[in-house]
Amino acid sequence: MSSRSGSESSAHEDDHTTFSSLAEYIDHSKHDPEKVVEVSPNGRYAKLNSVLGKGAYKIVYKGIDREEGYEVAWNCFQTTKQEYAELSQEVEILKRVRHPNIINFHDCWYSNTEFIFITELMTSGTLREYIRKLQSPNLRVVKRWCRQILKGLIYLHSYDPPIIHRDIKCDNIFINGAHGEVKIGDMGTAKMKIGKKYTVIGTPEFMAPEMYEEKGYSEKVDIYAFGMCLLEMVTGDYPYNECKNAAQIYKKVSQGLKPECLSRIIDPEVLSLIQHCLAPEHERYSAQEAIEDPFLGVEPEVVVLTSNEAKNHLTLQVVFKGMDKLSVKFEFNADTDTAEEVVNEMIEEQVLPQRYQRIITHDINRILRELAGTGDKKDIAGFTPSSPMLTNGHSHGAVSQLTLDGSVTSPLSQVPRNGTSLSRKNSNPDWGGEMELPFKEYSMDAPIEDLVNDTAMAYHRGPDKANEWLAKLKNQDIVTIGDLKDMQDSDWAGFDLTVFASRALRNRLFGKRPHTLTRASSNGTTTSTTDDGN
């Protein structure tokens, strides 16, 4: 491993321990885990004298990002310069991969027979170690892990062409203990699927049959591997434990024989999800289908948060039981809105997935009937039936909108696609809700790509969506953050962005929610006011 004398001397200068001899100092330095032993060519990253772990291919050290002041993982991978050069295209892709459930790749370079790359540091080890520690994690925890892994895979597979990880297994999934945050790591083996890949790479127990066949494979191999991970999570056993070597595993896989521990699974929902993941390639779930499987899916319910005295202006919330952050809050004007229109708008704006259309519409109508005194009252805490606002659960006219600030109401018929978006606090990261990203001040001359990519990531939109927004802005000659900050409301309206995209971008740009109130006036026109001049 190479080391730079400059960094060693600076570590020495910072060391205030006193030593009786030079030999003692040298011995101390050798064991000091905080000692800087190498510095990146650009001086930003420092490698510390502390090994985090060793795998078959690489050694991972603790490092420091000296610019940002946080710890990172310093990965050393033995390879030739030629091989490193061949990786350049993939490295560019890895640098662009940004998702809360994928370990961030920060930088890389080649030094002294080593491909060195800097990634996010994970503090609580791998999922495999965690499974061993927890013995048999309960199904609630397993579901949480699965959803996070699948969100990462949905993101990778949404690239065009999809990014295939190719080595999903519990050792390559990392945990940050405090929040139970799960991230996919070891992206080093990920390859862009350009046509079909023929390379056999991976871990035999987790390799789908088509990977052995050398006829090419798709991103579905990651789902097969995910199925094996789930099997390991619920049984605590490494799949194909009964096999003594890779040849035996290959024989079983090619005969379609599943791991023995699969027979120990009693829960029919878990079993069904695993079977869908281990199915032949053409029948196998996609990552999206897997996350929507009944075992991982949760049924939503609509609740009333607030109401005025007349019980016609309501704040409703779609709640997903058992999942803290997953909910969508929206205003509903019972005199003018209909459940059908509001729900359709939410679906159109991708705030809610289509599959919940019927159940949420039904639930809103149930609430309206109950408020009107024609239904069962038991679910409406604090509400007594009022004079009938609606007789059949349907109304005409304005539709209240979901908002980023939870405050917009406006007639859908007059302002199509207007303002449907998420309440910031009550967001649903599963299908487009906003995740909590720290506010960032963008410099005026920064390219708009930074803002657009961050926004797409915050709202769990894929790179395609980000590119679509970017193209629309660039069509209007918007290149820098400064260009965008100069824009008036009327200019934003001309960008041809959906109201959701426009609001999401503005929220990130200005660091606060544009508090837009849009109301239907008595003559049926729409008026808008904003409290922040935007």
Ligand X SMILES: Nc1ncnc2c1ncn2[C@@H]1O[C@H](COP(=O)(O)OP(=O)(O)OP(=O)(O)O)[C@@H](O)[C@H]1O
Shortest Cβ distance from residue 222 to ligand X (Å)?
Answer: 15
Shortest Cβ distance from residue 358 to ligand X (Å)?
Answer: 43
Residues in the chain: 534
Gap between the Cα atoms of 72 and 430, Å rounded: 28
Peptide bond into 161 cis (omega under 30): yes
Residues 516 and 408: beta-carbon distance below 8 Å: yes
In sequence order, the 6+-apart residues with CB closer than 8 A to the CB of 158 are: 462, 463, 464
CB atoms within 10 A of CB 104: 19
Shortest Cβ distance from residue 97 to ligand X (Å)?
Answer: 14
**Residues 492 to 511 in contact with ligand X, rule: CB under 6 A:** none
Gap between the Cα atoms of 501 and 438, Å rounded: 19
Going by C-alpha positions, the residue among 128, 17, 138, 7 that lies closest to residue 64 is 7
Rank residues 130 and 442 by Cβ distance to ligand X and give the closer one.
130
Give me the catalytic one of 167, 337, 405, 430.
Answer: 167
DSSP H or E stretch at residue 12: helix 5-14
**Residues 126 to 155 in contact with ligand X, rule: CB under 6 A:** 126
Binding span for ligand X by CB under 6 A among 113-121, 191-199, 330-338, 467-475: 113-121
Rank residues 125 and 209 by Cβ distance to ligand X and give the closer one.
125
Rank residues 171 and 363 by Cβ distance to ligand X and give the closer one.
171
Burial class (CB within 10 angstroms; exposed 0-12, middle 13-18, buried 19+) of 519: middle
**Residues 65 to 84 in contact with ligand X, rule: CB under 6 A:** 73
Query: Which of 57, 109, 212, 250 touches ligand X by CB under 6 A?
Result: 57
What is the Rg, in whole angstroms, of the alpha carbon atoms belonging to the chain?
A: 27
Shortest Cβ distance from residue 58 to ligand X (Å)?
Answer: 4
Query: Which of 22, 23, 56, 381 touches ligand X by CB under 6 A?
Result: 56
Burial class (CB within 10 angstroms; exposed 0-12, middle 13-18, buried 19+) of 284: buried
3-state SS class at 61: strand
Rank residues 185 and 432 by Cβ distance to ligand X and give the closer one.
185
User: With CB under 6 A, what is the number of residues at the site for ligand X?
Assistant: 20
Question: Does residue 121 touch ligand X according to CB under 6 A?
Answer: yes
Tokens 């969506």 map to which residue? Answer: 465
Shortest Cβ distance from residue 130 to ligand X (Å)?
Answer: 12
Shortest Cβ distance from residue 159 to ligand X (Å)?
Answer: 22
Rank residues 127 and 146 by Cβ distance to ligand X and give the closer one.
127
Query: Which of 35, 47, 58, 472 touches ligand X by CB under 6 A?
Result: 58
Shortest Cβ distance from residue 277 to ligand X (Å)?
Answer: 21
Rank residues 176 and 528 by Cβ distance to ligand X and give the closer one.
176
Question: Does residue 339 touch ligand X according to CB under 6 A?
Answer: no
First to last CA, the chain: 54
Shortest Cβ distance from residue 127 to ligand X (Å)?
Answer: 11
Shortest Cβ distance from residue 273 to ligand X (Å)?
Answer: 25
Query: Which of 11, 64, 118, 122 touches ligand X by CB under 6 A?
Result: 122
Rank residues 159 and 174 by Cβ distance to ligand X and give the closer one.
174
Question: Does residue 101 touch ligand X according to CB under 6 A?
Answer: no
Rank residues 171 and 454 by Cβ distance to ligand X and give the closer one.
171
**Residues 157 to 196 in contact with ligand X, rule: CB under 6 A:** 171, 174, 185-186
Tokens 């000296």 map to which residue? Answer: 66
Residues 331 and 406: beta-carbon distance below 8 Å: yes
Rank residues 38 and 171 by Cβ distance to ligand X and give the closer one.
171
Question: Does residue 60 touch ligand X according to CB under 6 A?
Answer: yes
Of all residues in this chain, which one has the CB nearest to ligand X in the complex?
Answer: 55
Query: What is the phi/psi pair of residue 173, to 5°?
Result: -115, 125
**Residues 26 to 55 in contact with ligand X, rule: CB under 6 A:** 52-55
Phi-psi region of 216 (alpha: psi -120 to 50; beta: other; left: phi over 0): left
Alpha helices in 309-447 (DSSP H): 339-348, 357-371
Tell me 104's DSSP state.
Answer: P
Question: Does residue 210 touch ligand X according to CB under 6 A?
Answer: no
Q: Which two three-digit tokens encode residue 147?
A: 């959803």
- Mapping DSSP onto H, E and C, the string for 464-479 reads HHHHHHHHHHHHCCCC
DSSP H or E stretch at residue 301: strand 300-307
Distances (CA, A) of 414 to 409, 417, 487, 526: 12, 10, 24, 7
Q: Is 167 a catalytic residue?
A: yes
Residues that bind ligand X (CB under 6 A): 52-58, 60, 73, 103, 119-122, 125-126, 171, 174, 185-186
Give the catalytic positions in this structure: 167
